[in-house]
């Protein structure tokens, strides 16, 4: 089996469940490890992750999770981590702590006779943002996010932030992230519809350009979605691991199903 999960936002000051949430995530990973060949974490598993030049003692909070992942990796299971917009600032530390393979860019893989496009999902929009398919409000939102993304990926600004004392940097980072979570809780953004959901439009454009994949698998949006496109491709948005506790599973026949992780788990074919 190959498993996909995303968006735990561990450490969030807005979610505030601390150890209980981390423990449930550990249980989820241990369940997956029972029959997994690979596990893909599709980003934003931490609400804010930054690696400073000075030692950051606060990361000890996640030691139980790190030990679990190391144990899974040592058992021979491949664990992959795709950085998102809350945890892009890893400079080798996360891989060293866990043994995971960290990916900074989307990639296409082939497994069990299926082609999968994997990405966290932030920053992915159809090529022509000015297209009439977007409302003026949507275009404004997309451009704002793209500007922020350029700032967050700027190497000089990253260097400056790495020089900060971790206590100060984390106060800034977790504070910014908490505002984002609270805004989401107050104003949830459900599925916008096939004609307005950026990740769906991105996948449609890829298919139109001839870059066919059987599955496009994303995190980022905190909605659970399995949408079949006209040419047979499926767009999967994984939900989250702090409220919905959803994940996807690809079996050795190439069948992909969506699930909820609960003590008495109920299976739902996607």
Q: Residue 38: what pLDDT? A: 98
Say if pTM beats, i.e. exceeds, 0.85. yes
**What are the angstrom distances between the C-alpha of 63 and each of 86, 88, 138, 194?**
19, 19, 40, 40
Position with higher pLDDT, 196 vs 9:
9
How far is residue 214's CA from residue 193's CA, in Å, rounded to a whole number? Answer: 21
Total domains in the fold of the chain: 1
Task: Please report which residue ranges of 48-92 form alpha helices under DSSP H.
Answer: 63-74
Report pLDDT digits (tens) over 150-205: 888 789 988 998 999 999 999 999 998 888 888 888 888 888 888 888 899 899 99
Q: Residue 14: what pLDDT? A: 87
**What CATH number is associated with residue 133?**
3.60.21.10
Q: Residue 130: what pLDDT? A: 57
Report pLDDT digits (tens) over 68-123: 999 999 999 999 999 999 999 999 999 999 999 999 999 999 999 999 999 999 98
Q: CA 195, 146, 163: angle at the middle one, nearest 5?
A: 150
Domain of residue 182 covers 2-268
| Cβ(49)–Cβ(152) below 8 Å | no
DSSP line for 202-223: HHHHHHHTT---SEEEE-SS--
pLDDT at position 265 over 50: no
Q: Residue 129: what pLDDT? A: 57
256: which DSSP letter?
E
How far is residue 97's CA from residue 238's CA, in Å, rounded to a whole number? Answer: 25
133: which DSSP letter?
T
Q: Residue 139: what pLDDT? A: 67
Number of neighbours of residue 224 by Cβ within 10 angstroms? 19
pLDDT at position 267 over 50: no
pLDDT at position 144 over 90: no
Chain length of the chain = 270
Per DSSP, the three-state class of 80 is strand
Report pLDDT digits (tens) over 203-236: 999 999 999 999 999 999 999 999 999 889 999 9
């Amino acid at each position: 089996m190959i498993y996909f999960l995303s968006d735990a936002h561990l450490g969030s000051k807005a979610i505030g469940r601390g150890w209980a949430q981390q423990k449930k995530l550990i249980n989820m990973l241990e369940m997956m490890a029972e029959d997994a060949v690979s596990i893909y974490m599709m980003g934003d598993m931490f609400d804010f992750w930054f690696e400073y030049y000075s030692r950051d003692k606060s990361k000890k909070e996640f030691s139980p999770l790190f030990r679990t992942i190391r144990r899974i990796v040592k058992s021979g299971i491949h664990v992959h981590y795709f950085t998102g917009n809350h945890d892009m600032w890893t400079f080798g530390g996360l891989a060293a702590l866990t043994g995971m393979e960290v990916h900074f860019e989307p990639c296409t893989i082939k497994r069990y006779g299926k082609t999968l496009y994997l990405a966290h999902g932030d920053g992915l929009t159809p090529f022509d943002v000015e297209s009439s398919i977007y409302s003026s409000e949507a275009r404004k939102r997309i451009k704002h996010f793209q500007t922020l993304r350029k700032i967050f990926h700027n190497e000089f600004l990253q260097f400056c932030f790495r020089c900060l004392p971790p206590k100060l940097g984390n106060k800034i980072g977790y504070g910014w992230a908490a505002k984002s979570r609270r805004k989401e809780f107050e104003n949830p953004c459900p599925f916008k519809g096939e004609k307005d959901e950026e990740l769906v439009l991105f996948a449609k454009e890829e298919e139109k350009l001839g870059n066919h994949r059987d599955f496009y698998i994303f995190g980022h949006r905190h909605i659970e979605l399995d949408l079949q496109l006209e040419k047979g491709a499926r767009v999967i948005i994984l939900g989250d691991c702090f409220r919905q506790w959803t994940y996807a599973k690809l079996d050795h026949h190439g069948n992909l199903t969506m699930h909820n992780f609960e003590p008495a788990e109920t299976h739902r074919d996607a």
